[in-house]
Structure 1
Amino acid sequence: MDPELTTLAQNASLTLVTLMATDAWEHTRDGVVALWRRAWPERAEAVAAELDSTREDLAGDPAAEDELAAEWQGRIRRLLVGRPEAVAELRSLLDALAPDAAPAPAVSQHATASGDSRIYQAGRDLHISEP
């Protein structure tokens, strides 16, 4: 799995779900549907319906934002894997939706261990079960 595509899909899904509750929703929805229409025309109407359904789900349960973003991350990642030419178009759409947003900072982790020491690093959640 290409980490760059995964990161792009994650950023896109978070932007998408965040904008569902804003005045920018119609423009966002139109852009996402247009992206699908060019990549997989036969799926565009289903994606439009899913976007509307996701927005309704979010309105009914605002705490579901992360869950809904994860669902869209998978859809977007599959689109990018199946249609690599859509990567540039998705980036342009994200730039248009959030022109003032700074790019996500690169994360770099470095560690050195010696002896019996252990190092645990994570970019997000970390769960450790020690016997």
Structure 2
Amino acid sequence: MDPEISSLAQSGGASLVALMAADAWQAAREGVVRLWRRVQPQRAEGVAAALDVGHAEVLAATAAGDQEALDELRAEWQGRFRRLLVARPDAAAELRRLLDEIGPPAPPAVPDVTQHATASGHGRVYQAGRDQHITGR
């Protein structure tokens, strides 16, 4: 198995499942169906139906916190992309372009945090960028 095909299929499956729960879902769906219509038109309608079912499953799994179901859906779409790329290696460039265009939603930016503190005498300063637990005196 070509490692590039495996990597691209894995990226495609993970990105698609992430997008199924995002605002960019319709653009992702249209792009994937367009890809299949171009390279395997006889399977495009089945892929469109599978995308709709997968979208509903992702929403339900996300709401239920079912990570196993999400992992299974990623693996399912990874397999679909891998089989497509094995049958039609020329589709790799188009899949890369599609992933670049619709890629998974960027994680929210983490703001820079700067903390300053001054203690005098017997004073103490406790600072944390996240949870902090102080015991004892």
The interval holding the TM-score normalised by the smaller chain is 0.7 to 0.9
User: Against the structure 1 CA distance between its residues 100 and 73, is the aligned structure 2 distance closer, same or farther, given a 3 Å change threshold?
Assistant: closer
User: Against the structure 1 CA distance between its residues 38 and 65, is the aligned structure 2 distance closer, same or farther, given a 3 Å change threshold?
Assistant: same
Alignment of 1:45-84 (within 5 A): 45-62=45-62, 63=66, 64-84=69-89
Q: Partner amino acid for 1:30?
A: E
User: Against the structure 1 CA distance between its residues 24 and 36, is the aligned structure 2 distance closer, same or farther, given a 3 Å change threshold?
Assistant: same
Q: Name the Cα RMSD after superposition.
A: 1.6
Q: Which runs of 5+ in 2 are unaligned?
A: 107-137
Q: TM-score, normalised by structure 2?
A: 0.70
Q: Which runs of 5+ in 1 are unaligned?
A: 102-131
Q: 1:23 matched to which residue of 2? A: 23
Q: 1:39 matched to which residue of 2? A: 39
Q: TM-score, normalised by structure 1?
A: 0.73
User: Against the structure 1 CA distance between its residues 100 and 45, is the aligned structure 2 distance closer, same or farther, given a 3 Å change threshold?
Assistant: closer
User: Against the structure 1 CA distance between its residues 8 and 60, is the aligned structure 2 distance closer, same or farther, given a 3 Å change threshold?
Assistant: same
User: Which structure is richer in relative contact order (CA contacts within 8 A, separation 6 or more)?
Assistant: 2
Q: 1:108 matched to which residue of 2? A: none
Q: Deviations over 1:5-25 (max 9, x none)?
A: 001000011000000011100
The alignment of Structure 1 onto Structure 2 pairs a total of residues equal to 101
Choose which of 88, 91, 116 in structure 1 pairs with 2:93.
88
- Distance across 1 between alignment mates of 2:24 and 2:105: 14
